Amino acid sequence: MPAFELNRDNFETEVYESDLPVLVDFWAPWCGPCQEVLPIVEELSAELEGRVKVCKLNVDGSKEIARKFRVMTIPTVIVFKNGEKVAEKIYPKSREEILSMLEGL
């Protein structure tokens, strides 16, 4: 299953009201490093289905959400649990780095 596309209209419902932990990849289509991380995020979306909701948010269309979470560099991956931010990593370079953010959830 591909990563769920978030936007300003569905962010609150999909992230804050989720029963599962939510991993959000803040990215943009013009960002080279984001293109390196995106396949990892897509792979994890399929692998973690039913245990973690994996999403991506294009910051170009949702600047206010990026600002709210002080995302100044992309790619940034943030994990939310029960509507609260519990982990953050700027430019994770491997699948293992992203998975380590989910340990203990």
**Which residues, 6 or more positions from 41, have their beta carbon under 8 angstroms from its beta carbon?**
3, 23, 25, 54, 56, 77, 98
| Residue 17 reports pLDDT greater than 90 | yes
DSSP lists the bridge partners of residue 90 as 76
How far apart CA 21 and CA 86 sit, in angstroms, is: 9
**Which residues, 6 or more positions from 92, have their beta carbon under 8 angstroms from its beta carbon?**
37, 40, 75, 77, 98, 101
- Return the pLDDT at 104: 79
- Return the pLDDT at 37: 96
Domain containing 39 equals 4-22+29-91
| Residue 105 reports pLDDT greater than 80 | no
Q: What is the mean pLDDT of residues 14-30?
A: 97
Question: How would you list the strands of the sheet with 76-81, edge to edge?
Answer: 4-6, 53-58, 22-27, 76-81, 84-90
Query: What is the gyration radius of the CA atoms in the chain, in angstroms?
Result: 12
Q: Which residues are catalytic?
A: 31, 34
Number of domains within the chain:
1
48 assigned to some structural domain: yes
99 assigned to some structural domain: no
| Residue 2 reports pLDDT greater than 90 | no
100 assigned to some structural domain: no
- For 47-101, the pLDDT digits (tens) are 999 999 999 999 999 999 999 999 999 999 999 999 999 999 999 999 999 999 9
Among 93, 60, 94, 71, smallest CA distance to 24 is for: 71
CATH number assigned to the domain comprising residue 63 = 3.40.30.10
SS3 49: coil
